[in-house]
A and B are shown apart, each in its own frame.
Chain A
Amino acid sequence: MRLTLRPLTGLLIGIVLVVVLPSLSLGQRKRRPASTQPVRVSVDYSKFSHSTQKHQATCSTCHKIPTSSWQKASSFPDITDFPGHSACVSCHRAQFFKGVRPVICSVCHSKTSPRDDDRPEFRKPVALLQFTTEFPHDKHQDVIAFNRTFGGLAFAHATRLVDQGYYNCSLCHTARTSVPQAPDKGWPDRFVPVVAAFKSSPSGHSSCFNCHWKEQQPIAENCAGCHKLSKPFSNTVAPSRISLKFIHDGGGEKKNHVAECTTCHINITKAASLRGLKPDVPITACTECHNREGLRQDVSKELLAIDKDKSFTCIYCHTSDVGKLDPPASHYLIAERPPLKRKDVK
């Protein structure tokens, strides 16, 4: 039997199979059985969440900015303490007066006793963070733009201006005083980086309020201007580094690594948020010194070592988690060689 006017019928069947059936089956997968029984949700009043609908009023409803006794805890006007009782009791009167040791008190108090108002440090260091911070690097780079000009007055004063506090990335990213916490699995190859390998990041309001106090938006009371509610997350994530052996304040006796941040981090001045920042240091930032004719050949040497032994691990900049991977094409191009995969090494 031959198809006469029926090819369209077959086509229709195909379309039904491809489009309609999968969507039906997907829909069925997503569907949940409807319950007719009312669900009793038990609330853990020892945990406070900003995600709760009724906790999403204007921040200043609960947080007084600055806290009335900020002078005791801070050198500048800041939010230094938990909100007062009135912030909670208007809705949670029942929980406030439930039993001898009301669970709800433990949100802010170390001991749940009416005779003890001791509170842990605000915000609790061990608590998960509930807000991410937005920081447009591009705008801040613009506004602190400082062109160290030359000739005449400006150049003559250049050194002195640096002493005064030349505003750039180092305004917020200063030298660290301690090595960041190691990853859960420990540092790769048990290589513990030195303190000078890292820069710090702002962790409080001190880097912001000195400009964004009451005039320059987002002002201190406009919390949402910088903070976005997110799923709770830990702030103790170890830094992720491709070249763990790089030392920001290093570069030999002359400290050749000490440069303006954007000289190497080439994409920072166009970053409009903290989201999506990625390692953006091109290999050329390193090879100006580390793979230069007559100076050093650190990249070329390790690529040659891979030629001889495809299991060779690059160790000059990297720990083995990175050093055992295929070198990226850019490394080969710098060494003026065509890119190569380890599996293709004979």
Chain B
Amino acid sequence: MRNLFLLKSIPRTRAICLLLWFGLVIWVAAPIGLTQAPERATGVLRLRVRVKVDDASPLRGLARKRFFLIRGSREQNLDVVHAIEQNTLPSRDCYYSKLGASEQLRAWLRSGDCESIYCRAVDQNFVTGPNAVPEFTEAYAMGQKEFGNDETALRWISTKVSANLRDGFYKSRQSFVQTILKQAQGSAETQVRSVMTDSNGTAYFTELEPGPYVLSSIVPTELGANSAIWNCDVLIKTGDLATEKPYLVSNRNDKNVKCVAVERPLPSCEK
């Protein structure tokens, strides 16, 4: 209102000129404002995940494990954290046993800590001979028949293994992850970010808006006879270019560890 009173003291022609000038400025400036996004101050989180399978084992980087960053504190995401911690996901061995997978296939998966048969190449040793995995032998024979050559039959072996044995365990876990993500995105109203650790257990979250987050593994990680789940508070600050000390994550408590897993024995298999 005060501005309107001020206008009363300005001659009409000058007022119109002022408004025209104002209009011109907006007309020129508006498109620039639309195209130039304001520079955002963001931060980086460098994870370093080191775990022990048991007390006698050394600490080692946890390779190829996906971690998620959910916007908001643990307190703000209590329902999500609760849902993660109360999961009833079967262990890998239980899942494949229930499907009737052969002991050889379960051993093959265990030996590479594989969630699916896609995780490593199947070589001839696992198709024929004393180490043969019956599921692979059968798939190989089917491939030979369809493709007409041994090399393709071996390389394409996964295309002839039944869906559940192929990647059912991975998919059941992904289904749980998607349910949690839906819940987390609903409450946090932002996209949940995720990265996978490298062979040293290191991973980076980049371009993070400053503020509180929950760092979560969502699905449990099998470590020997136990499963470990991480759900920890993280505060992201601006200006960190990942040159500072990494955020240490482990299943063992230590003065430098910022995020310690909740461990529990692997669930027993359903009969």
Contacts and interface: CB of A to CB of B under 8 A. Distances in A.
Interface stretch (B155-163, B182-190, B254-262): B155-163
Interface in A93-149: 138, 141-149
A18 B120 contact: no
A271 to B, nearest CB: 10
Contacts, number: 179
Interface residues of B, number: 66
B269 interface: no
A14 B20 contact: yes
A13 B16 contact: yes
B199 A18 contact: no
B8 interface: yes
Nearest to B196: A269
Given A75-B152, A76-B152, A263-B198, A18 B118 contact: no
B159 A214 contact: yes
A11 B19 contact: yes
B83 interface: no
Contact of B170 (A142, A152, A165): A142
Contact of A165 (B123, B158, B196): B123
A334 interface: yes
B15 A3 contact: yes
A150 B58 CA distance: 9
B114 interface: yes
Contacts of A1: 11-12
Interface in A1-40: 1-4, 6-7, 10-11, 13-14, 17-18, 22
B64 interface: yes
Q: Which of A6, A17, A146 has the most CB of B within 10 A?
A: A146
Given A76-B156, A210-B158, A334-B243, A145 B53 contact: no
Interface residues of A, number: 60
A280 B39 CA distance: 19
Interface string B175-201: 000000000000000000111101110
Contacts of B64: 141, 145-147
A255 to B, nearest CB: 16
Interface in B5-29: 7-12, 15-16, 19-20, 22-23, 26-27
A76 B203 contact: no
B130 interface: no
A148 B242 contact: no
A147 B63 CA distance: 5
B94 to A, nearest CB: 18
B16 A10 contact: yes
B242 A282 contact: yes
B235 interface: no
B4 interface: yes
A203 interface: no
B243 A146 contact: no
A330 B110 contact: no
B195 to A, nearest CB: 5
Interface in B109-132: 110-116, 118-121, 123
Give the secondary structure class of B's interface: mixed
Contacts of A77: 147, 152
Given A1-B12, A143-B167, A260-B199, A149 B118 contact: no
Contact of A6 (B12, B57, B110, B119): B12
Interface string A210-232: 11011110000000000000000
Contact of A167 (B118, B174, B241, B242): B118
B147 A284 contact: no
Nearest to A211: B158
A262 interface: yes
A123 B9 CA distance: 77
B62 interface: yes
A282 B58 CA distance: 29
Contacts of A148: 63, 112-113, 199
A149 B64 CA distance: 10
Given A209-B156, A260-B199, A263-B200, A161 B112 contact: yes
A4 B193 CA distance: 58
Given A14-B23, A143-B118, A161 B196 contact: no
A165 B125 CA distance: 13
A55 interface: no
A13 B16 CA distance: 8
B118 A22 contact: no
A151 interface: yes
A312 interface: no
A104 B60 CA distance: 64
Contact of B159 (A7, A22, A210): A210
B152 A215 contact: no
A157 interface: yes
Contacts of B63: 146-148
Top 6 nearest A-B pairs (CB, nearest first) are A165-B121, A14-B19, A269-B196, A147-B113, A7-B7, A266-B204
18 contacts: A1-B12, A2-B11, A3-B7, A10-B19, A75-B149, A143-B115, A143-B118, A144-B119, A147-B112, A150-B57, A161-B112, A167-B119, A213-B156, A260-B200, A266-B204, A269-B194, A270-B195, A282-B241
Interface of B: 4, 7-12, 15-16, 19-20, 22-23, 26-27, 53-54, 57-58, 60, 62-66, 110-116, 118-121, 123, 147-149, 151-152, 155-156, 158-159, 163, 166-167, 170, 174, 193-196, 198-200, 202-204, 206, 224, 241-243
